[in-house]
């Protein structure tokens, strides 16, 4: 088992390094290590099917029968491998489109962990634009004026706005370990919700604003666990399963069964993440369901559409370049959209940029990207992509393509 490293703000940025650099022992590598010490991602192998609902169409995986339409993928320093036609969807591009706009304009440091009010008017995010440690900021989407909500010498990250927009839940190590806090969106004193010695991160609000789901790094399991806590009665917590980046559906479920979206790594092979949901009612979780996986990489940062019927996520190619890069994030990643039932996979962005951390409000998906040279929040209009998805469902899961700006937009 690998030695557990302290969680730093750098290791939280994008949250994406977990997707490929999860140690082969199953223990999470928390802090990015020097390039010379990082293990190269293992070759993708066929995972065991784990979808809970046999009636939900899912993607085929590489390694099946080789046909005339199969292709060879060549990666430097790695053997060529045959990719089935179903896996080719992850290699296809999206057409260019000018419908991407920049939302934040930091010229120093980094902007990350975006979230928006339900009306899409207000953006909350973490940033190091003013000093080396990260703070929480708030701004109107259509303005360049930013309000600094936290000013603690420690690290504050992963903010999320409550359903009514009045409160911000976030993670901070101001008390010595990473815990969950809640504060007024107008500014003021932060209330500590969790106080466990184990790191606790990535809060997400329930639709009624009474509870949050979050990650805890299990002291016994050594794995990322998901827990639910009452905001006003924090000693009451419930373990709901293993996974990371949990996101509560913005729409309350029928019969009191809400859905929670998350990413989970395979427990074999390359251990790359795929996108899952589970049902949560009362204090019980049930029906963990894998929505989609990628035989050529990791699927991370899943987020709900406003009506809870679709999911947007980032896909990180597992081509070996990540482990050879100088940073804790991949050299590139793209955004995709899929129905919650596994149909209608649509590619939203394409190119040489690293696009991560999508959040969907109205007709736009907001995300973190380095496409302008500095990491900032951008937004893409997905109305055309939704129209594509609202056409006849494709049980075979063939990919539709939408959007991506020309280089330099």
Question: If you average pLDDT over residues 76-82, what whole number do you get?
Answer: 47
- At residue 86, the pLDDT reads 54
Residue 14's pLDDT band, with cuts at 50, 70 and 90, is very low
Q: Which helix (H) or strand (E) holds 334?
A: strand 334-339
Q: Is residue 107 classed as helix, strand or coil in its secondary structure?
A: coil
> What is the overall mean pLDDT for the chain?
78
**Cα atoms found within 13 Å of the Cα of residue 35, Cβ hemisphere only:** 10
Confidence at 8, pLDDT banded by 50, 70, 90: low
Structural domain contains residue 74: no
d(CA 383, CA 380): 9
In a domain, 408, yes or no: no
Q: Over 70: is that where the pLDDT of 79 sits? A: no
**For the chain, how far is it from start to end, CA to CA, in angstroms?**
45
Average pLDDT, integer, range 360-378: 95
Whether 79 is covered by a domain: the verdict is no
Beta bridge mates, 137: 125, 148
What pLDDT is attached to residue 256?
85
CATH number of the domain at 98, please. 2.120.10.30
CB 226 within 8 A of CB 242: yes
Residue 69 has pLDDT above 80, yes or no: no
Dist. CA 100–CA 283, nearest whole Å: 41
- So what's the pLDDT on residue 74? 41
pLDDT number for residue 94: 55
The answer to whether position 62 is within a domain reads no
Summarize pLDDT for 184-194 with one digit per residue, the tens: 999 999 999 99
According to the model, what pLDDT value does residue 403 have? Answer: 44
Average of pLDDT values for 306-312? 97
Indicate whether 57 pLDDT > 50: no
Poorest-pLDDT segment among 34-43, 331-340, 352-361 = 34-43
**Does residue 54 form part of some domain?**
no
Contact 157, 171 (CB under 8 A): yes
Higher pLDDT, 64 or 312: 312
pLDDT in tens, 236-267: 789 999 999 999 999 998 888 999 999 999 88
Q: What is the rounded distance in angstroms from the CA atom of residue 145 to the CA atom of residue 385?
A: 31
Q: Give the chain's domain count.
A: 1
78 within a domain of the structure (yes/no): no
**pTM summary value:** 0.79
Residue 60 lies in a domain: no
In 3D, which of 194, 210, 118 has the Cα closest to residue 202?
Answer: 194
> What per-residue confidence (pLDDT) applies to 390?
85
Domain that includes residue 129, residue range: 9-33+94-401
Taking residue 81's Cβ as centre, other Cβ atoms within 10 Å add up to 18
88 CB-contact burial (10 Å; exposed 0-12 / middle 13-18 / buried 19+): middle
- Over 60: is that where the pLDDT of 406 sits? no
Q: Is residue 209 part of a domain?
A: yes
- C-alpha to C-alpha distance for 195 and 179, rounded to whole angstroms: 6
Per cent of the chain over pLDDT 90 is 59
């Amino acid at each position: 088992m690998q030695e557990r490293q302290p969680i730093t703000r750098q290791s939280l940025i994008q949250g994406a390094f977990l997707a490929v650099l999860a140690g082969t022992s199953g223990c999470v590598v928390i802090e990015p290590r020097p390039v010379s010490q990082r293990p190269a991602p293992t070759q993708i192998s066929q995972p065991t099917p784990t979808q809970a609902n046999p009636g939900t169409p899912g993607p085929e995986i590489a390694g099946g029968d080789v046909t005339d339409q199969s292709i060879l993928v060549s990666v430097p320093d790695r053997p060529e491998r045959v990719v089935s036609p179903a896996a080719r969807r992850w290699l296809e591009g999206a057409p260019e489109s000018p419908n991407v706009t920049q939302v934040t304009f930091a010229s120093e440091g980094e902007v990350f962990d975006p979230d928006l009010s339900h009306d899409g008017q207000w953006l909350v995010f973490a940033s190091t634009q003013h000093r080396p440690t990260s703070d929480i900021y708030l701004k109107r989407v259509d303005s360049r004026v930013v309000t600094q909500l936290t000013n603690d010498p420690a690290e504050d990250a992963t903010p999320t706005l409550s359903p009514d927009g009045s409160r911000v839940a976030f993670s901070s190590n101001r008390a010595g370990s990473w815990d969950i806090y809640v504060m007024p969106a107008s500014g003021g004193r932060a209330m500590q919700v969790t106080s466990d010695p184990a790191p606790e991160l990535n809060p997400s609000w329930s639709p009624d604003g009474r509870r949050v789901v979050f990650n805890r790094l299990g002291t016994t399991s050594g794995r990322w666990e998901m827990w639910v806590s009452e905001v006003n009665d924090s000693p009451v917590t419930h373990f709901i399963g293993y996974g990371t980046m949990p996101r509560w559906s913005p729409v309350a479920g029928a019969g009191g069964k809400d859905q929670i979206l998350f990413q989970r790594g395979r427990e074999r092979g390359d251990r790359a993440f795929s996108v899952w949901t589970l049902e949560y009612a009362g204090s019980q979780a049930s029906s963990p369901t894998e929505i989609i996986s990628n035989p050529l990489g990791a699927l991370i940062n899943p987020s709900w559409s406003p009506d809870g019927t679709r999911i947007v996520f980032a896909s990180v190619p597992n081509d070996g370049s990540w482990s050879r890069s100088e940073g804790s994030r991949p050299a590139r990643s793209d955004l995709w959209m899929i129905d919650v039932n596994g149909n209608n996979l649509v590619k939203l962005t394409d190119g040489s940029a690293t696009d991560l951390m999508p959040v969907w409000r109205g007709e736009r998906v907001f995300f973190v990207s380095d496409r302008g040279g500095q990491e900032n929040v951008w937004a893409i209009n997905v109305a055309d992509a939704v129209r594509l998805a609202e056409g006849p469902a494709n049980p075979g899961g063939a990919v539709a393509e939408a959007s991506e700006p020309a280089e330099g937009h």
